[in-house]
Amino acid sequence: MKQTFTLPTHKNDPRRKVVYINARLFDAESGLDNKGALLTMGDSIADFGPGLFKDGKTPEGAEIVDCKGHLLTPGLLDIQVHFREPGQEHKETIATGSKSAAAGGVTTVACMPNTKPVIDDIAVVAFIHKRARETAYVNVRTYAAITKGQKGEEITEMGLLAEAGAVGFTDDGLPVMNAGVMRKALAYSRTLGLPVSQHAEDLHLSCGGCMNEGKISAQLGVAGIPNASEAVMVERDIILAELTGGQYHVLHISTLEAIDAVRRAKKKGLKVTAEAAPHHFTLTDEAVLEYRTFSKMNPPLRAERDRKAVIEGLKDGTIDAIATDHAPHDQESKRVPLSSAAFGIVGLETMLPLSLSLYHKKIMPLRDIIAAMTYKPADIIHVPSGRLKKGARADLTLIDLDHAWTMDPKQFVSKSLNSPFDDWKVKGRALRTVVGGETVYALK
C-alpha cells in the first residue's frame, strides 16, 4: 500500500468543501456510533449525521471521500512527544516527527521541552510555533519547562510562557526533585489553569538503573530501577497537589503502586490525571532479553503485574489518556551496551494499532480506547479538540479497525527507527488523517 503526505496550506477557504460519505461516525464523548456522512467547510466541521446527504445530493463542487464503512473519529492526540528540535535534529525534527504523527492518525501533538536549548523562554516557544507553521503536517503544541534549564532549581516565567501558548509545564526527561519548587509550580498551575506534568522518578532510588529492578535485571547483571522510584514521587506530588489545588498530571505512569495512588487521589476529588504509553500495557521487562536497548525506556518496562495494572487503570478511568512518549534516537545512541544506551523508543506510528489490540482482544470497549486518544488528552492540556461537533476544527482520523499488517520500523517515516515492535502482527490502521479540513496523510 502507498502512503501519501501533503503539508497543510493553513488557508481557511470556506469555499473548500469535503464530504465524507459511507462513514461510521464515532465520537467517544457523546457515544455517537452511526453510519452517516460528514461535511467540512474550510477548516471546520459544518455538519454530520446519519441522515446527511441520504438523498445523494452533495454540495456542488465538493470533494467526495468514500469512507467505505470505516471509522471516522475526531483526530487523535498524543500529548507526550519528543521532536528534538531545536538541538538534536539528527534524531528528529518537527517536520519528520509531525509526518510520523500523521501516518499514525494523530492530528495534534504536545512536545516536551527537553530540547537544546530547553523550552524555558518565550523565544523558544515562539520558535517552535514558527517552525510548526512552516514544516508541520499536524497541529504542534508545546509544553514549557517547570524550571530554568530543567535544573530543578528556579521556576520559569510560567505566566509569560502560558501567554506565549505553552499548554502546560514539565521538566520531562528529569523529575522535579525539590518539593518546594514543585509546590510553587503547582500553586502557579492553579492560577494559570494549566497542568504541571511530572516525570515521576526519585533519582536517589533509581540512581544508575537502566531497566526495571527484578529478576531480569538480576539475570543480566545490571542495575535496576525499583517501582518505589515512581511511586514515592507520585505520592509526594499528590500531597502537594492537594495542598495547592493545582492540576497535576503523571506522565507515562508504569507501576501498580503509582496507579493506586492516582486512583485514591481521584476518589478524593483532586485535580490529578495520568497517561500511559502503549509499551507499558503491551510489554514487560522480559522484552529486554530479546530487544535489548530497543526495549530500554524510562520509566522502564515493568513486571507483568504492573502491565496488568496499567490496563486496569485504563479500564476504570484512573489513567485518563494514552500517550506515546515518542522518543527518537539515532543508531549510535542505541547500539551500545544496555547500561550506556539512551532511554526511549519511537511510538507515533504504533500507538493506534497497539491500543486497538485491547479492543480486538476484548479487554476494553472501543469507545474507551478512542476516548483515551481524543477528548480525554485534549481536556488534560485544555485544547478544543477530540470531539465531533458542528463548528469544531475539522481534525479527523479515518480508521480501518480490521486492517491486518506487520509493523516494520524500517518503513516508519520518523527519522529514527528505535522500536521493539519489529515484525509485530497487528490489526487497525489510519487510512486518512485530516488537519484543519485538509488531508495530510492517506494510505491507499
Cell numbers found for residue 21: 460519505
Q: Is residue 387 part of a domain?
A: no
Radius of gyration of the chain (CA): 21
CB atoms within 10 A of CB 153: 12
Indicate the range of 22-36, 53-67, 289-303, 370-384 predicted with least confidence: 53-67
The three-state secondary structure class of 17 is strand
Instruction: Round to whole Å and give the CA distance between 385 and 393.
Output: 7
User: Which domain range does residue 335 map to?
Assistant: 75-380
- Comparing CA positions, the residue from 26, 80, 174 lying closest to residue 380 is 80
- Which of 380, 400, 415 is the endpoint of a domain? 380
Q: Is residue 226 part of a domain?
A: yes
For residue 321, which amino acid is it? Answer: A
Q: Is residue 324 part of a domain?
A: yes
- Which of 336, 355, 380 is the endpoint of a domain? 380
Residues 47-73, mean pLDDT to the nearest whole number: 93
Q: Is residue 33 part of a domain?
A: yes
Whether 215 and 180 map to the same domain: the answer is yes
Q: Is residue 385 part of a domain?
A: no
The pTM of the full predicted model, rounded to 2 decimals, is 0.97
Cα–Cα distance list, 189 to 183, 286, 321, 346, 377 (Å): 10, 38, 20, 30, 17
Listed in sequence order, the residues at least 6 apart from 76 whose beta carbon sits closer than 8 Å to its beta carbon are 104, 105, 106, 107, 108, 351, 352, 373, 374, 397, 430
Do residues 200 and 250 lie in contact, with contact meaning Cβ atoms separated by under 8 Å? yes
Assign 15 a pLDDT band (cuts: 50, 70, 90).
confident
Do residues 265 and 238 lie in contact, with contact meaning Cβ atoms separated by under 8 Å? yes
Exactly one of 325, 379, 395, 400 is catalytic; name it: 325
Q: Could you report the per-residue pLDDT of 171-195, keeping only the tens digit for each?
A: 999 999 999 999 999 999 999 999 9
Residue 325 annotated in active site: yes
Bridge partners (DSSP) listed for residue 144: 169
Do residues 373 and 322 lie in contact, with contact meaning Cβ atoms separated by under 8 Å? yes
Whether 335 and 363 map to the same domain: the answer is yes
- Which of 353, 380, 407 is the endpoint of a domain? 380
Whether 138 and 222 map to the same domain: the answer is yes
Assign 10 a pLDDT band (cuts: 50, 70, 90).
confident
Mean pLDDT, the chain, rounded, equals 97
Q: What is the pLDDT of residue 111?
A: 98
Indicate the range of 12-16, 31-35, 166-170, 412-416 predicted with least confidence: 12-16
Whether 109 and 254 map to the same domain: the answer is yes
Whether 8 and 92 map to the same domain: the answer is no
Bridge partners (DSSP) listed for residue 196: 169, 248
Whether 140 and 286 map to the same domain: the answer is yes
Instruction: Round to whole Å and give the CA distance between 203 and 382.
Output: 30
Q: Could you report the per-residue pLDDT of 307-358, keeping only the tens digit for each?
A: 999 999 999 999 999 999 999 999 999 999 999 999 999 999 999 999 999 9
CA torsion through residues 438, 133, 411, 81, sign: negative
Assign 57 a pLDDT band (cuts: 50, 70, 90).
confident
Q: Is 12 a residue whose pLDDT tops 90?
A: no
Whether 15 and 89 map to the same domain: the answer is no
Whether 236 and 336 map to the same domain: the answer is yes
State how many domains the chain has. 2
CATH number, position 253: 3.20.20.140
Q: Is residue 235 part of a domain?
A: yes
Q: Is residue 178 part of a domain?
A: yes
C-alpha 378, offset from chain centre? 10
Whether 161 and 80 map to the same domain: the answer is yes
Q: What is the DSSP string of 360-389?
A: HTTSS-HHHHHHTTTHHHHHHTT-S-S---
Cell numbers found for residue 40: 467540512
Assign 1 a pLDDT band (cuts: 50, 70, 90).
confident
Whether 182 and 151 map to the same domain: the answer is yes
Whether 26 and 161 map to the same domain: the answer is no
- Comparing CA positions, the residue from 193, 57, 200, 83 lying closest to residue 142 is 83
Whether 403 and 258 map to the same domain: the answer is no
Do residues 109 and 81 lie in contact, with contact meaning Cβ atoms separated by under 8 Å? yes
